[in-house]
Amino acid sequence: MAAIAPDTHEALAGISGGDLDFLETAVGLREVGRESTALDPRTFALVKIAALIALDAPPASYAWQVANALEEGVTPEEILGVLRAVAPQVGGPRLIAAAPEVMLALGLAPPEQA
């Protein structure tokens, strides 16, 4: 087994655990590129959620981006609006896959699957 420095261990644990503060500060992923878009922070956050839906992103992505959006003042109703807005372009299966992930990110329990 390789010798692992404590800061390396902490970094890996933070990434693996989805530690939002760690990802924002240590990895610097939150604001990459926003300045070049000419979008305000709220719109930028909503666009990123739309991209996650379109890409059928992994669950951890929703937890992080929804938290970022809420910090920027985005409401749950606006996030629902994003789901509705992209539905015709991404299709039902991606919408159905994204909705429970958004619910979990908002602290809601998704419905039981039959």
| Sole residue written with tokens 């992994």 | 58
pLDDT, one tens digit per residue, over 69-97 is: 999 999 999 999 999 999 999 999 999 99
Cβ atoms of 95 and 87 within 8 Å: the answer is yes
Structure tokens at 39: 């979008």
Q: Which of 92, 32, 85 is nearest to 56 (CA)?
A: 92
pTM over 0.85: no
How many CB atoms within 10 Å of residue 78?
Answer: 14
pLDDT, one tens digit per residue, over 27-72 is: 555 555 666 677 899 999 999 999 999 999 998 889 989 998 999 9
The span from the CA of 4 to the CA of 19, in Å, is 20
Continuous H helices in 56-108 = 59-71, 76-90, 92-105
